[in-house]
Amino acid sequence: MEAAEQAPRIAVLVPCHNEAAAIAKVIADFRASLPAADIHVFDNNSTDGTAQVARAAGASVRHVQLQGKGNVVRRMFAEVDADIYVLVDGDDTYDAAAAPMLVERLRSDDLDMIVGSRAHQDAAAYRSGHRTGNVLLTRCVGLLFGRSFDDMLSGYRVFSRRYVKSFPAHSSGFEIETELAVHALQQRMPVAEVATAYGVRPEGSASKLRTYRDGTRILFMIARLFKNERPLAFFSILTALCVLVSLVLAWPLLLTYLQTGLVPRFPTAILCVALVLLGAILFACGLILDTVTRGRIEFKHLMYLSVSAAKRARAARVP
């Protein structure tokens, strides 16, 4: 009886947009692999009857009006209460049978996030353009934030409660996966990556991801996160560029001055001085924002710790 009372509450979160062809099988597969879990489908303005199919399959269905996967994940994390969260796309490409293993790994190793990296056998399942973009973007995040995952953009993840309730969720679209990864890296959370099978979409289901459009949005998200989370490094790069351009422009002027004692291109000299002053201002902005960011990071960490403390308090009250 005590073991049953202490069993973790598991929630399967399925964001959907026009996935009527796949959602029933996704629900059935996760109900078979995680029979004690609550399955929540969040429908994002589907026009093909996805919500009706999901409700008929026995899932709890909610509607999100703001378009975009990031907006859906934000609502999911805010509204669903559980101890362990399994986030999976509703396109039936991820392996539901791996879910118990991922959940057990999260519990046994006391992790905050596990990424189910995609191991595909069929080339049609993971298009070369998507694969190449994923590798480039993942390496970019690793370069800027110190370390990363092999498959940062996977839509199959398992989270602890303390991760979910401390995640700010600013993204609106497919760049949400990047934000999920950076949040874990920034807070130095214990994470892992486990290879899971990845298959083709069922007939009648189409990918909503647009390679170039969404890839560009993800790239801008990485740049924005770099500015927001590491402002001193970001503005130091801009300062270095300003000073470098100033030196390149000033070098001929300096040689002319040493030879003749004159500064014939006075506007260029003014521009060089202005670039150095701009670099100094940018560096000062970086210093100030770095202090603000450290306070914000500390606040997010306190939120993270408060969730852990609340969980221990609830466990202590169990008779």
Strand, coil or helix: 41:
strand
Residue 36 to residue 30: CA distance in whole angstroms: 10
Helices marked H in 19-127 — which ranges? 23-33, 50-56, 69-79, 99-108
- The DSSP 8-state label assigned to residue 13 in this structure reads E
Radius of gyration of the chain, Cα coordinates, nearest whole angstrom: 25
Confidence of residue 316 (pLDDT cuts 50, 70, 90): very low
Q: Of 208, 229, 250, which marks where a domain is finished? A: 229
3-class secondary-structure state, position 302:
helix
> 172 and 70 in contact (C-beta within 8 Å)?
yes
- Flag whether pLDDT at 302 surpasses 90: no
Statement: residue 164 has pLDDT above 50: yes
Domain that holds residue 244: 231-317
Q: What is the pLDDT of residue 3?
A: 45
Q: What's the chain's length in residues?
A: 319
Share of the chain above pLDDT 90, in %: 45
pLDDT at 101 over 90: yes
- The predicted model gives 48-67 an average pLDDT of 93
Q: Evaluate if residue 256 carries a pLDDT over 70.
A: yes
Domain shared by 186 and 250, yes or no: no
* 191 and 109 together in one domain: yes
Cα–Cα distance list, 121 to 114, 231, 316 (Å): 22, 41, 47
Query: At 149, is the pLDDT very low, low, confident or very high (cuts 50, 70, 90)?
Result: confident
Confidence of residue 278 (pLDDT cuts 50, 70, 90): very high
> Average of pLDDT values for 223-247?
91
Same domain, 172 and 221: yes
Same domain? For 290 and 208 the reply is no
Q: Of 179, 130, 140, which is closest to residue 157 (Cα–Cα)? A: 179
61 and 206 housed in the same domain: yes
Do the bridges between strand 10-16 and strand 84-87 make them parallel or antiparallel, or are there none, so unpaired?
parallel
For residue 4, name the pLDDT band (cuts at 50, 70, 90): very low
In the structure, what pLDDT confidence band is assigned to residue 194 with cuts at 50, 70 and 90?
A: very high
Given 169, 202, 229, the domain boundary residue is: 229
Distance CA 130, CA 154 (A): 11
**Token duo for residue 206:** 């189409």
pLDDT at residue 228 greater than cutoff 90: no
Instruction: Report the SS3 class of residue 60.
Output: strand
Distance between start and end Cα atoms, the chain: 11
Determine contact, residues 62/130, Cβ cutoff 8 Å: no
Q: Based on the domain organization, do 172 and 275 belong to the same domain?
A: no
> Cβ of 133: how many Cβ atoms within 10 Å?
20
Least confident of 52-56, 158-162, 180-184: 180-184
Whether residue 305 sits in one domain with residue 225: no
Q: Per-residue pLDDT tens for 104-135?
A: 999 999 999 999 988 865 554 555 555 676 77
How many other C-beta atoms are found inside a 10 Å radius of the C-beta of residue 313? 9
Q: For the residues 213-231, what does the mean pLDDT come to?
A: 81
Core vs surface per residue 167-182: b (16+ CB within 10 A) or e: bebebbbbbbbbbbbb
Structural contact between residues 106 and 184, judged by C-beta atoms closer than 8 angstroms: no
Does residue 310 surpass a pLDDT of 60? no
CATH number for the domain harbouring residue 196: 3.90.550.10
pLDDT at 208 over 50: yes
- The answer to whether residues 208 and 278 belong to one domain is no
The pLDDT value recorded for residue 294 is 84
pTM: 0.78
- Please report which confidence band the pLDDT of residue 209 belongs to, taking 50, 70 and 90 as the band edges: low
d(CA 177, CA 158): 13
Highest mean pLDDT (candidates 138-152, 208-222, 245-259): 245-259
Same domain, 166 and 236: no
* 68 and 209 housed in the same domain: yes
Dihedral sign computed on CA atoms, order 87, 89, 90, 91: negative
- Give the model's confidence band at 273: pLDDT under 50 very low, under 70 low, under 90 confident, else very high: very high
The domain boundary, picked from 213, 229, 245, lies at 229
Number of domains comprising the chain: 2
Q: 311 or 250: whose pLDDT is higher? A: 250
Beta strand spans in 90-176 (E): 113-120, 157-160
* Same domain (yes/no): 308, 247: yes
Q: Which residue has the higher pLDDT, 3 or 21?
A: 21
Query: Do 224 and 255 have their domain in common?
Result: no
